[in-house]
């Protein structure tokens, strides 16, 4: 059974970098044909896809966040990570990692989510 678990700090200061890791169990992160991605949810913006990375390492980003986001994979640890730079209060949200198919556009397995607040 595939399981995903997010980890990272629950509080980040404005202008700093938000860093999250998703640990995957029950499935090799290198296996085709899945992508791996991040989605966030807030009362203001609802569900918002952030970024995805394919099994071959290709990356995809939502345009509004592209300049601030990095997504990467550590196959040796079966993990993937998100970095969001220069955060503001608008980045406060519940962050989910997910396994994706259909070229990274459908999320079939989700982590439980981790809440990140941006505040000084």
Partner 1 sequence: DIQMTQSPSSVSASVGDRVTITCRASQDISSWLAWYQQKPGKAPQLLIYSASSLQSGVPSRFSGSGFGTDFTLTISSLQPDDFATYYCQQSNSLPPTFGGGTKVEIK
Residues that bind partner 1 (CB under 8 A): 46-49, 60, 62-63, 96, 102, 104-108, 110-113
Contact status, residue 84 vs residue 9, Cβ threshold 8 Å:
no
CB of 41 to partner 1, least distance (A): 8
Nearer to partner 1, 15 or 103 (CB): 103
Residues pairing with 6 in the sheet = 22
Rg over alpha carbons for the chain, rounded to the nearest Å, is 13
CB of 3 to partner 1, least distance (A): 11
Nearer to partner 1, 111 or 118 (CB): 111
Nearer to partner 1, 74 or 108 (CB): 108
Nearer to partner 1, 77 or 105 (CB): 105
Strands, E assignment, 13-112: 18-25, 35-42, 46-53, 59-61, 69-74, 79-84, 93-101, 106-110
Between the two ends of the chain, the Cα-to-Cα distance in Å is: 39
CB of 37 to partner 1, least distance (A): 9
CB of 27 to partner 1, least distance (A): 15
């Amino acid at each position: 059974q595939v399981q995903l678990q997010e980890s990272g700090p629950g509080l980040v200061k404005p202008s700093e970098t938000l860093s999250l890791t998703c640990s995957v169990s029950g499935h090799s992160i290198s296996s085709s044909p899945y992508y791996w991605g991040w989605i966030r949810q807030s009362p203001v913006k609802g569900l918002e896809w952030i970024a995805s990375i394919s099994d071959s390492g290709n990356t995809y980003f939502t345009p509004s966040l592209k300049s601030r986001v990095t997504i990467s994979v550590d196959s040796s640890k079966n993990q993937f990570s998100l970095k969001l730079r220069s955060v503001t209060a608008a980045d406060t949200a519940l962050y989910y990692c997910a396994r994706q198919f259909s070229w990274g556009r459908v999320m079939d397995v989700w982590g439980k989510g981790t809440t990140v607040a941006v505040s000084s």
